[in-house]
């Protein structure tokens, strides 16, 4: 039987002319041109003049994983190195809620009043997960973000802690070349990131609270051992006595620790970030420390040690990254893993096969 669709009179499936819809994209919008990547020389020239916008853009290159960005970034860092180093680098840690943002806002304003230029950086390896970073966010530092002599940069996001830390360390170089002579590096006092911060600062400040019962408050002993100074925050209102008592307890606890490599005895002070009380006490402590390490030569020694440490770290990170980016390696690794799990091959011979594959690749 002839199908009705083939009949010219059939109207069952006719497509009507559609209604023209309005354009969804605003035809009047301005086309924003992507910013041109400058040459390394142009970035360096801007940075040395203290151009904040170029400094920010160069830091973005440091944070980028694109290869062409990285090669310019590395050239910029190299060219800025001779102009870097002339600053006091201060690490600031404390558990969430200890009052880091409040305190950095006040400490920062304090050093700017003294005539310094301040860069506030952060290391927060979790910032990729939390999106937009819990650290370094400008809205957390209201006063400081209005200061023209403050450069605030959130934690680089993504990648391993080592990678995030390296980017912050490189950012320090650019900031110093741009004339920032005070650098704060903030981190949350709960994990591994303190070690990374400790390896790039001259002074490590631990912000603590009193009156929560447990004097160590989940702060790992290792972090206490790294601290050059402990500042007990929220020493205001009816919390003052508890803070003084906690300070005493911390001093006693610190006496049981082995001497620090600098032989500096970590100090404990109390203050209130929110009410801006005794801020100069915290700062006097830090000034005393710098005077001490500059006199003993420890300042220089520690910086040299840190430079060595970062060289080794960078080598290891680059090797690891190159290795895992070898074409075909990921697939081979998966195959080998399966064989190892199925008891078809030992872990050691499987590792050797993978390494041989890599060595063969780089030989070519
Ligand atoms: P962060 O998580 O370490 O950055 O801590 P914040 O700076 O965000 O502070 C956590 C809370 O403690 C906020 O509600 C602050 O207002 C409060 N706070 C910070 N410093 C002080 C202080 O000196 N005294 C009192 N009473 N509260 C403070």
| Long-range CB contacts (within 8 A, 24+) of 73-80 | 73/170, 75/40, 76/40, 76/43, 76/44, 76/47, 76/174, 77/170, 77/173, 77/174, 79/40, 79/41, 79/44, 80/44, 80/47, 80/48, 80/173, 80/174, 80/176, 80/177
The side-by-side arrangement of strands in the sheet containing 88-94 is 150-152, 118-123, 182-188, 88-94, 203-208, 229-232, 267-270
Give the model confidence (pLDDT) of 59-82 as tens digits: 999 998 888 898 999 999 999 999
Tokens of 17: 């002319």
Q: Establish whether residue 266 lines the binding site of ligand 1, counting it when its CB lies within 6 angstroms of any ligand atom.
A: no
For residue 98, the CA-to-ligand 1 centroid distance in Å is 6
Rounded to the nearest angstrom, the distance between the alpha carbon of 180 and the centre of ligand 1 is: 26
Highest mean pLDDT among 30-34, 209-213, 310-314: 310-314
The whole-model pTM stands at 0.82
The tokens describing 11, both together, are: 């109207």
Predicted local confidence at residue 83, as pLDDT: 95
Task: Report the SS3 class of residue 319.
Answer: helix
Provide the pLDDT for residue 172.
96
pLDDT in tens, 297-328: 999 999 999 999 989 988 888 888 889 989 99
pLDDT over 90 percentage in the chain: 60
120, 141 in Cβ contact below 8 A?
yes
Q: Which has more pLDDT, 142 or 113?
A: 113
Asked whether the predicted pLDDT for residue 126 surpasses 80, the reply is no
Q: Confidence class of residue 196 from pLDDT cuts 50, 70 and 90?
A: confident
- Token pair 């959130």: residue: 154
Instruction: Pick the residue whose CA is nearest to atom 19 on ligand 1.
Output: 99
104 and 182 Cβ atoms separated by less than 8 Å: no
Render 340-362 in DSSP notation, one character per residue.
Answer: HHTTSS-HHHHHHHHHHHHHHHH
Among 97, 100, 105, 140, residue to substitute to test ligand 1 (most atoms within 8 Å of Cβ): 97
Under DSSP, the state recorded for 207 is E
- Tell me the C-alpha to C-alpha distance, in Å, between residue 237 and each of 94, 98, 308, 329: 21, 16, 46, 61
Contact partners, residue 155, CB within 8 Å, separation at least 6? 121, 122, 123, 124, 125, 127, 133, 135, 136, 164, 168
Instruction: Read off the tokens for 334.
Output: 């998966």
Ligand 1 centroid–CA 54 distance in Å is 33
């Amino acid at each position: 039987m002839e199908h009705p669709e083939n009949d010219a009179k059939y109207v069952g499936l006719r497509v009507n002319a559609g209604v023209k819809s309005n354009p969804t994209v605003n035809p009047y919008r301005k086309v924003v041109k992507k910013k041109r990547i400058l040459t390394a020389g142009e970035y360096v020239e801007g940075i040395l003049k203290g151009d904040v916008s170029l400094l920010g853009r160069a830091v973005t290159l440091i944070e980028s994983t694109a290869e062409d960005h990285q090669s310019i970034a590395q050239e910029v860092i190299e060219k800025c190195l001779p102009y870097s180093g002339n600053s006091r680098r201060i690490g600031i840690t404390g558990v969430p809620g200890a009052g880091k943002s409040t305190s950095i806002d006040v400490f920062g304003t304090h050093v700017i009043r003294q005539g310094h230029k301040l860069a506030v950086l952060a290391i927060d390896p979790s910032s990729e997960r939390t999106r937009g970073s819990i650290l370094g966010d400008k809205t957390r530092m209201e006063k400081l973000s209005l200061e023209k002599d403050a450069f605030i940069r959130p934690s680089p996001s993504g990648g391993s802690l080592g990678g995030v830390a390296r980017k912050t360390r490189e950012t320090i170089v650019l900031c110093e070349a741009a004339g920032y002579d005070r650098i704060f590096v903030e981190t949350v006092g709960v994990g591994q990131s303190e070690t990374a911060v400790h390896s790039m600062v001259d002074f490590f400040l631990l912000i603590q609270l009193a009156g929560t019962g447990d004097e160590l408050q989940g702060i790992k002993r290792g972090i206490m051992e790294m601290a050059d100074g402990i500042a007990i925050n929220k020493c205001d209102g009816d919390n003052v006595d508890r803070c003084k008592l906690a300070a005493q307890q911390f001093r006693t606890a610190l006496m049981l620790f082995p001497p620090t490599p600098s032989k500096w005895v970590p100090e404990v002070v109390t203050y209130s970030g929110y009410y801006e009380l005794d801020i100069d006490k915290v700062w006097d402590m830090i000034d005393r420390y710098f005077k001490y390490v500059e006199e003993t030569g420890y300042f220089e020694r520690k910086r040299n040690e840190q430079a060595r440490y970062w060289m080794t770290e960078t080598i290891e990170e680059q090797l690891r990254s190159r290795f895992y980016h070898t074409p075909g390696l990921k697939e081979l690794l998966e195959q080998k893993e399966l064989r190892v799990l199925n008891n078809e091959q030992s872990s050691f011979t499987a590792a050797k096969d993978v390494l041989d594959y890599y060595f063969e690749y780089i030989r070519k």
